[in-house]
Amino acid sequence: MKHFYKYLSVVLITVLVFPMSLSLQAGNKDRAGQAGAAELLINPWTRSSGWGSVNMAKVSGLEAMWGNVAGTPRIRKTQVILSYTDYLNGTGTSIAAFGITAKVGEAGAIGIQIMSMSFGEVEITTPDSPEGGQGYYKPSLMNVSLSYGRAFSNSIYGGLVIKGISESIADVSAFGIAIDAGIQYITGAKEQIAFGIALKNVGSKIKFSGDGLSIKSFIPGQDNAWTLEQRSQAFELPTQLQIGASYDFLMPKDYRITLAGNFISNSFTRDQFILGLEFSLKDYFLVRGAYTYENGMFEPVTDPENSNINNGLSLGVSVAVPLNKEKGTFIGFDYAFRESTAFNNNHTFGIIFNF
C-alpha cells in the first residue's frame, strides 16, 4: 500500500504539474504587467508571510491554502485565522483575511478562505468635471477559496483549491475562476525532511464588463445621442510553479531551527529564489526571517529592470498561548514585516485559534 501511494504521488506530479509548467513561459520579463488579478500573488497570512512564504514544503493548516494546499490536512482538528495587512504603508491600501479549515474523517480536510483588498475612497472625475466634485467610489478586490486536502500516507499529502476572483468598481466588474494543486512529501525519523511542489493560479482569461465601459455621445450633424461601448481586453492570471524543501534541526528541550528554500517560477515576471530560517521554542515562541531574490531588484526604482515590489527581507514573530496542552489547543498572536520597494513596507497582524 505504501508503494501504491508513492506511485500515485509521482503520477499526480507528472499529470497535473509537468505539462502545465511547460506552458508557463517561466520568468518571462517581457510579459511583466500583462497579467491581471495580481492580488493572487499577495500572501494575506501572517506566519508564512513573515517567512517570505518560503515554507511551502511543510506549511500546514489554513495557511497552506495559500502556500501549498497539500498541508491543509496536517492539523489536529480545526483551525481559524484572522489577519489584517497594512499593505504598502502610507498608500491607504489594506488587506483583511479570514479562514477556517477542519478535518474530515481521519485523512482529509476542507477549508474556506476569504481575502478582501481595500484601497479606500477614490474621487470621481469626468471629462466635464476633471477636478472631481462628483462623489467617490471604492474599488473592491475579493477572493473566495475552497480547498480539499488529503493524507495519502504518513509521508505523502495532496490537495486542490478552487478560487473565485472578483474585481469591481461602481459600474465595472470582472469575475473568474482559478485552481491550485499541490503535493508534499515529508520523511525522516522525526519528519524533519520535507519537499513540496505547487502549481498556483491556473485558470481561463478574465474580462471586465459593465456600464462603465459605455459612453453616451452625439455624432456631428445629428441630434440623437448614441451609446458607444468600448471593448475590454481579456487578461490572463499570474500562474506560478513553486518547488521547495526544508529541514528541521532538532535540539534538546524541544528547540528547533528550520532551514527552508523555495524556487518560484512566474509566468509573467522573473523567477524568484527564497531562503529562510525559523527558530522555535516548543512551538510557543517562534522567530523567523527570509530573503527573496530576483534579477534586477538592486537596480534603481526608476530602472525598468526593477519591476517587482515583492522581494527583499521578510521577518516575523509568533507567540502561542496553550489552552489545553494534552489536546494541543492554543491561541496565537502573530506579526509579520515585509520589505517593499519605494514604499513604506508591509505590516501584517494575525490571530490564530487551533482547536
Running DSSP on this structure, what letter comes out for residue 172? -
**Beta bridge pairs of residue 108:** 104, 150
Kindly write down the DSSP assignment for every residue of 3-19, as one continuous string: HHHHHHHHHHIIIIIHH
**Has residue 5 been placed in a domain?**
no
Indicate whether this model's pTM tops 0.85. Answer: yes
Reply yes or no on whether the pLDDT at 237 is more than 80. Answer: yes
**Has residue 301 been placed in a domain?**
yes
Domains: count for the chain: 1
Mean pLDDT score, 77-104: 95
pLDDT of residue 24: 42
CA distances from 225 to 91, 231, 315 (A): 40, 19, 58
Q: How many helices, marked H, and strands, marked E, lie in the chain?
A: 4, 18
- What residues contact residue 133 under an 8 Å CB cut-off, 6+ apart? none
- Residue at 275: amino acid letter: L
Which parts of 23-152 are beta strand (E)? 78-87, 93-104, 108-118, 122-123, 136-137, 140-151
Least confident of 246-250, 254-258, 263-267, 307-311: 307-311
Average confidence score pLDDT of the chain: 88
**Has residue 8 been placed in a domain?**
no
**Half-sphere exposure at residue 81, Cβ-oriented, CA atoms within 13 angstroms:** 32
Q: What is the pLDDT of residues 172-224, one digit of tens each?
A: 999 999 999 999 999 999 999 999 999 999 999 999 999 888 887 777 777 77
Reply yes or no on whether the pLDDT at 18 is more than 50. Answer: no
**Has residue 24 been placed in a domain?**
no
- Residue at 150: amino acid letter: R
Range of the domain at 348: 46-215+222-354
**Has residue 297 been placed in a domain?**
yes
The CATH number of the domain holding residue 55 is 2.40.160.40
**Has residue 35 been placed in a domain?**
no
pLDDT of residue 12: 46
Give the DSSP H or E segment for 296. none
Place of cell 490564530: 352
**Has residue 278 been placed in a domain?**
yes
**Half-sphere exposure at residue 56, Cβ-oriented, CA atoms within 13 angstroms:** 31
**Has residue 7 been placed in a domain?**
no
